[in-house]
Amino acid sequence: MEDFELDEYYNSVKYFPKYEGEFNNITAGSANSYIQQCNYIISSCFDGKLDFFKSCSNIAAFIKHLQYKADSIEKSQKCNFLNYKINDEVKKLKNVSYNNVDFYNKLINGYKKYVHNLNIICKKNIGYLDEDIFRKIEDLYKIYTRFNRFVLPSSSSDVSNCQDITDPVDIYNKHKGTCENDINKDFCVALDNFKNDYQTIIGKIITKCKDAEEYLQSYVKLSENTVLLLQEDEGSGERGASGDRGISGEIGETGGRRDTILQDSLAQEGSHEMGNSKSTMTIALSSMLVLSSASFLMYKFTPFGSWLRPLIQRNMKQSDKMNEEVLRFYPNSSGNHMDIENSRYNIQYH
């Protein structure tokens, strides 16, 4: 398993149900296409037992399909699927002597010799999956097979079955203990991706399945700094508990402290942004003061001022002249004002 990129492998499993359908279409009718090649492989790897013949032909057909595909993310995902498929087909034979790295390498070499070199076509993530990793991939596969069935029901039924939500959630929940340490980090991130997919369509889920869980607990661990703060807080809570304080008080105060720690850790980025905003405002105000001072000094003590003053005075004279011209067009304006004062409706208040 040294050459496996497990994070990529686990995250590609969500596409396995799609590739299963492609596999079935591509391999339909392939039984007679690889008779000679599979006879050689079976005789060299399976002691002539024909139980693997159909699987051998299907795998050979899919390898040929991949051979003509350009390198891409999808091709890499299909290679991951095929590798899981080969491991799965071998495990179905339930022969302990097949369940090891040496046998798997022998089988891949058989395909290399008589069909195509799978290690060249796929380049990585081709190899024996130990029992633990195989079961994790299998669980992710089951999760997405049922989940996709709920999201996209078959045209024959057109009805989403709530069991297709219950089963994936049950598998998800059983792995809570699996994710309590960093050993299975890549797998737990893949589980968390399913949680996100689940929460994305929670409205549809709750509408169709009233008893479905509305929220799935995240199995991705907190950042290291936040975990350390929580651990320190737990320690102080335990020390306080050794005094006269009751259990309920300890839980309440410690829980409140935990919430504060989590809120503080999440608010750090916000405080940094506020600090940046204050700095920006300070710089802007300082710039305005500097420009104002510089303008005043230029006006008062440089040739710029002597050039600007006559322009200002000339504009003021032109403005006064325009006001006089306007008044000439309204000669009776003062008389009108007096008429209003002498009007019989002009009531004086004392």
Contact 222, 182 (CB under 8 A): no
Q: Is the four-CA dihedral 124, 130, 131, 132 of positive or negative sign?
A: negative
Contact 143, 171 (CB under 8 A): yes
Contacts of residue 125, defined as CB under 8 A and 6 or more positions apart, other chains included, come to 3, 4, 5, 8, 9, 76, 79, 80, 83
Identify the pLDDT of residue 311.
Answer: 60
Distance, in Å, from the CA atom of 219 to the CA atom of 176, rounded to the nearest integer, reads 7
pLDDT interval class at 216 (50, 70, 90): very high
Please give the span between the terminal C-alpha atoms of the chain, in angstroms, as a whole number. Answer: 106
Angle, nearest 10°, between helix axes 101-114 and 73-92?
A: 120
Mind listing the pLDDT tens digit for each residue in 22-39?
Answer: 999 999 988 789 999 999
Q: What is the three-state SS of 164-206?
A: HHHHHHHHHHHCCHHHCCHHHHHHHHHHHHHHHHHHHCHHHHH
Region 189-217 average pLDDT: 95
Q: Which position has the higher pLDDT, 264 or 181?
A: 181
Q: Which position has the higher pLDDT, 302 or 333?
A: 302
The CB density around residue 347, as the number of other CB atoms within 10 Å, is 6
Identify the pLDDT of residue 247.
Answer: 32
Average pLDDT, the chain: 77
Distance, in Å, from the CA atom of 66 to the CA atom of 68, rounded to the nearest integer, reads 5
Mind listing the pLDDT tens digit for each residue in 223-264?
Answer: 454 444 445 555 544 444 444 433 333 334 444 444 444 444
pLDDT interval class at 18 (50, 70, 90): very high
Distance, in Å, from the CA atom of 53 to the CA atom of 30, rounded to the nearest integer, reads 11
Residues 145-159 as b or e (16 or more Cβ within 10 Å = b):
bbbbbbbeeeeeeee
Distance, in Å, from the CA atom of 294 to the CA atom of 341, rounded to the nearest integer, reads 53
Residues shown for the chain = 350
Distance, in Å, from the CA atom of 215 to the CA atom of 270, rounded to the nearest integer, reads 26
Angle, nearest 10°, between helix axes 247-301 and 224-241?
A: 130
Distance, in Å, from the CA atom of 307 to the CA atom of 299, rounded to the nearest integer, reads 9
Tell me the DSSP string of 240-305: HHTTT--HHHHHHHHHHHHHHHHHHHHHHHHHHHHHHHHHHHHHHHHHHHHHHHHHHHHHHHSHHH
The helix (run of H) or strand (run of E) holding residue 334 is helix 333-342
Compute φ and ψ for 249, nearest 5 degrees.
-65, -40
139 vs 13, 96, 194, CA distance in Å? 10, 22, 12
CA 149 to chain centroid: 22
The CB density around residue 217, as the number of other CB atoms within 10 Å, is 11
Mind listing the pLDDT tens digit for each residue in 289-329?
Answer: 656 665 655 555 565 556 556 666 666 666 666 656 545 55
